[in-house]
Amino acid sequence: MDGYELFSSCKKGDVSRVRYLVEERDVDINLRDKWDCTPLYCACLCGHEELVQYLLAHGAKCEANTFDGERCVYGSLKDSIRRLLKEHKCITAKTMQRDYFDYFLHMILEQGQHSDVKFMIHGEIFLAHRCVLSARSEYFTTMFETKWKGKNLITLKHPLINPAAFGALLQYIYTGRMDINVSFIEDCRLLAKQCKMDDLTEDLQHKCKQVYEYVSNKPGICVKVLTLGPHSDRLQEHMLQLAVGALPAELRVGCGQLPFIITDDYPTYPDIAFKVEGYNFLCHKAFFCGRSDYFKAMLEDHFSEGEILTTQPNVPVLTLHNISYEVFICLLYYIYGDDTELFPDNVLDMLYVADMYLLPGLKRLCGAALAKTVCEDNVLEIWKTAKLFSLSRLEDQCKELMAKIIEKLVNSAEFAEMIQEDARSVVDRQDMDSIPLVDDIRYHITTNVQTYSAIEEANQKLQVLEQLLVSIGLEC
């Protein structure tokens, strides 16, 4: 019944009801009815733009070159919805939660995969990773090397340590966020002070003041949960310390801009080493398995621990082929910090590696870097690259430029071959069937055409495109 109600609400455009069904009743947003329709398709067909925005933001599938994606685009009642779908051709990072950095950090805390330390507080067990705690707090670094050295289970018996507050502290350490009942705020503040986390102490004070001022001006309002938002830059900066710590000593050049310089004796507690062109990178399974299904399969399912580091006998070594150490360093920074430096001379190598290692977020970064270089001279080549690696947003940007310069492109033999190849890719295509590349160029030519002169220009562009199609024996 909930599924039936979801489709009915999408046809009516009832956003609030759809929100309730998705967020409260946990109805699958990509559910299909007996006609193989999805809620997003119904919303597009009925012209409910606000609802379409909501569905896309919450994971409705509308990928380019798929049945659902094309069906929604061509079934849309309004051009504004069609443009909206075009902008969401590539699934967003938040929708692909597996690749969403904050979500990944949340999951390695919640699931405790590859954890190497346990905290027991008044009977409650918390799984954690030494590397993350040390990167985020110098207090934990000191304790792991002194009082807690060599311990896998750490029992904290102090009566003032509240398990709920400690759990919230771990949440903040891993994700930069904190959701805590207001009755435990003082416990959290004491823990933050003990752990010498001045940033958390300041955030708590600022947020408490903000909540107090809000409640005092709103009679009858009762705030029970305090939420701290993430400081993404600060979090990534700390996690990047682990990437720097993974580098061989001879490759740690130019890292002094980090909060503190990592020395050879700084403990990062690695549990896997990757050998690349003779260099050993001391890394962590939690990060590589959590961010990439390729590494997850390699390290958890098929990895035979053959070689061992002589300097750290407990750390197995895995040799990676077909990748340079320079590219691996860039990959390392993405794995740990969700960002990396991309230049014209390395972006294609990074794109290949991102595709091979199943890192869609890195592919998007490469696509964004390539988008900045698109021009008349390279638009065809970049479109081919975008199509090859399924970079839908980059594909669309290339098509938009093609539409602007179509009168030049029709004289290009390479462009004519691209259209023919795209036509051949349509399974069981008939003579009068559409060609995706041509359809999208036509769309960009005619979109937002309002003035008489713009109409004349658009018609002229469409005409030269039709002449090209006729000349190569294609009609659509």
* 57 band by pLDDT with thresholds 50, 70 and 90: confident
Q: According to CATH, what is the number of the domain 2-89?
A: 1.25.40.20
In sequence order, what are the residues at sequence separation of 6 or more whose Cβ sits closer than 8 angstroms to the Cβ of residue 181?
164, 224, 225, 226
| Residue carrying the six token digits 């002589």 | 310
Q: Which tokens hold the place of 32?
A: 């299909």
Return the pLDDT at 25: 63
How many Å apart are CA 476 and CA 454, to the nearest integer?
23
How large is the average pLDDT for residues 264-280?
87
How many Å apart are CA 444 and CA 59, to the nearest integer?
26
How large is the average pLDDT for residues 56-71?
69
How many Å apart are CA 420 and CA 414, to the nearest integer?
10
Residues 257, 265 contacting (CB under 8 angstroms): no
Return the pLDDT at 130: 96
Specify the higher pLDDT residue, 211 or 445.
Answer: 445
Looking only at the bridges linking them, the beta strands covering 117-121 and 153-156 are: parallel
> What are the C-alpha distances in Å from 369 to residues 87, 171, 211, 361?
17, 32, 41, 13
Return the pLDDT at 100: 73
* 431 band by pLDDT with thresholds 50, 70 and 90: low
Put the strands of the sheet holding 153-156 in their side by side order: 124-128, 117-121, 153-156
The 10s digit of each residue's pLDDT in 180-191 is 888 888 999 999
Return the pLDDT at 170: 95
Beta bridge partners of 178: 228
Does 85 score more than 70 pLDDT? yes
How large is the average pLDDT for residues 28-32?
81
Task: Give the rounded distance of the alpha carbon of 435 from its chain centre.
Answer: 31
**What is the dihedral angle through the alpha carbons of 332, 333, 335, 338, rounded to the nearest 10 degrees?**
-170
Beta bridge partners of 126: 119
> What are the C-alpha distances in Å from 134 to residues 139, 151, 216?
8, 15, 39
| Boundaries of every domain in the chain | 2-89, 101-230, 234-364, 376-471
Looking at the structure, give the CATH architecture of the domain made up of residues 234-364: 2-Layer Sandwich (3.30)
* 255 band by pLDDT with thresholds 50, 70 and 90: very low
Residues 64, 94 contacting (CB under 8 angstroms): no
Return the pLDDT at 94: 42
Q: Within 10 A of 127 (CB to CB), how many other CB atoms are there?
A: 17
How many Å apart are CA 130 and CA 170, to the nearest integer?
12
Q: What percent of the chain has a predicted confidence (pLDDT) above 70?
A: 86
Specify the higher pLDDT residue, 129 or 264.
Answer: 129
Return the pLDDT at 428: 55
* 254 band by pLDDT with thresholds 50, 70 and 90: low
How would you write the chain as a 3-class SS string?
A: CHHHHHHHHHHHCCHHHHHHHHHCCCCCCCCCCCCCCCHHHHHHHHCCHHHHHHHHHCCCCCCCCCHHHHHHHHHCCCHHHHHHHHHCCCCCCCCCHHHCHHHHHHHHHHHCCCCCEEEEECCEEEEECHHHHHHHCHHHHHHHHCCCCCCCEEEECCCCCCHHHHHHHHHHHHHCCEEEEHHHHHHHHHHHHHCCCHHHHHHHHHHHHHHHHHHHCCCCCCCCEEEECCCHHHHHHHHHHHHHHHCCHHHCCCCCCCCCCCCCCCCCCCCEEEEECCEEEEECHHHHHHHCHHHHHHHHHCCCCCEECCCCCCCEEEECCCCCHHHHHHHHHHHHHCCCCCCCCCHHHHHHHHHHCCCHHHHHHHHHHHHCCCCCCCHHHHHHHHHHCCCHHHHHHHHHHHHHCHHHHCCCHHHHHHHHHHHHCCCCCCCCCCCHHHHHHHHHHHCCCCCHHHHHHHHHHHHHHHHHHHHCCCCC
How large is the average pLDDT for residues 404-423?
92
> What are the C-alpha distances in Å from 1 to residues 6, 7, 8, 21, 29?
9, 10, 10, 11, 14
What phi, psi does 272 have (nearest 5°)? -155, 140
Q: Within 10 A of 452 (CB to CB), how many other CB atoms are there?
A: 8
* 472 band by pLDDT with thresholds 50, 70 and 90: confident
Q: Please state the pTM of the whole predicted model.
A: 0.73
How large is the average pLDDT for residues 403-411?
93
The 10s digit of each residue's pLDDT in 326-343 is 999 999 999 999 999 999
Specify the higher pLDDT residue, 216 or 364.
Answer: 364
* 92 band by pLDDT with thresholds 50, 70 and 90: very low
Return the pLDDT at 433: 59
Where is average pLDDT lowest: 87-101, 170-184, 296-310? 87-101
Where is average pLDDT lowest: 93-102, 195-204, 351-360, 397-406? 93-102
Return the pLDDT at 26: 65
For domain 101-230, give the fold. Potassium Channel Kv1.1; Chain A (3.30.710)
Residues 155, 196 contacting (CB under 8 angstroms): no
On average, the pLDDT of the chain sits at 84
Domains 2-89 and 101-230 share a fold: no
How many Å apart are CA 393 and CA 370, to the nearest integer?
11
How large is the average pLDDT for residues 122-144?
94
